[in-house]
Amino acid sequence: YWILRNRKVARQVVAKCVVCRRFEAKSLEAETPALPEERVRDANVFEISGCDFAGPLYCREGKVWVVIFTCAVYRAVHFDVVTSLSTDGFLLAFRRFVARRGRPKIMFSDNGTNFRGMSNILGTVDWNGIANQTSVEQIEWRFSPPSAPWWGGFWERMVGLMKNLLRKTLGNSTLTREELYTVLTDCEALVNSRPITYYSEDPKDPLPISPMMFLQEIPENGLPDCDVIESTSLEKRVKYRQRVRDDLRRRFRSEYLGQMILKRDKLKETRPPVLGEVVLIGSDDKKRLDW
C-alpha cells in the first residue's frame, strides 16, 4: 500500500513522540526584562561595580590571577593581579581599587568563598562611626543567586574581552609578573577606549562615547598659575568643564541607553506556555534525559 502525504504524516508522528520532543524541544523565548535600576541610574564612575576573578595566568614567578572590576553604568574596567584566591589577596586588591578609582556604594559579585569572606570583613567594620567622621557611606555587597550565572553578565562580558586580548597578545609566551601587569594595564586602557555608541564615518559627527571619557577629563598640559589667572576666567573655565560633563552624561543616556532599548525591541516574539501544553523543565544538575 502507499501512504498519502507520507512526509506530513511522519512529521506529525514525530511531533507527538514524547521521547523525540524530550531531546529536540526548544526552549520558549522569554520576554527580556528591563535593565535593573543599578544599570541605568545616574552615578559616578565605579560607584556601582561588579568584580570577578580570571585565571590562573602563568608567569616566571608562578601562577597569578586577575581581579576584574567593572562599572555597571559606564562599562569601564579596572584590572589588578593577585597571587592567590584568598580573601586577604582580594582585600589588598580591593584597597588598591578604592585608592585609585574611589569608594563604590554597591558591589556585585558571585558566591565565591573569597567574596563571602570579603563581605564578612566589611561587615565587622564600624561604618556608622566612620560615616559620622568622614561622611563615608557603607559599601553594600550583593551576591548573585546560586545557579544563576546570568546575573553576572555585565562583568562576565568584561572577563571575556580581557581573555580575548590576552590570548592574542601573549600567545604561548611566559612573562615576568611586572611584564604581565604592564600588559594587563595596556589591555585595561584598550577596553576603556572602546566605543560603546555608534561610530559614524562622517567627520562632522561627534565622537563616539567611550568609558575613558568618564575616567579622564579634558586633557591639559601643565597646571595653570593661579596668581596670574583672573578669577573671572577661572570661574568661566569651571563652568565650561561642568557643562562638558553634563553634556557627556546626557549623550550617554540618550545614545547608549537608547541603543540598548532598540536591541531589546529587535528580539523574537515571545509567547507564554498554553494551558494543557506538555513542557520540559530543565535542571542544571541533571542530564537532558532526566529532565
Q: Which 8-state DSSP code applies to residue 18?
A: H
Which of 212, 206, 219, 168 lies closest to 191 in space, CA to CA?
Answer: 212
**pLDDT given at position 47:** 84
The reported pLDDT for the residue numbered 232 is 62
Express each pLDDT in 203-243 by its tens digit.
777 777 778 777 865 444 344 455 555 556 666 766 766 67
CB-CB contact of 114 with 87 (8 Å) = yes
List all residues 6 or more positions away from 91 whose beta carbon is below 8 Å from its beta carbon: 118, 121
pLDDT score at 218: 40
Does residue 217 or residue 117 have the better pLDDT?
Answer: 117
* C-alpha dihedral, 271 to 273 to 278 to 283, nearest 10°: 90
pTM of model > 0.75 = no
Lowest mean pLDDT among 64-68, 101-105, 179-183, 196-200: 196-200
pLDDT higher at 235 or 106: 106
Environment class of 121 (CB within 10 Å of its CB; exposed 0-12, middle 13-18, buried 19+): middle
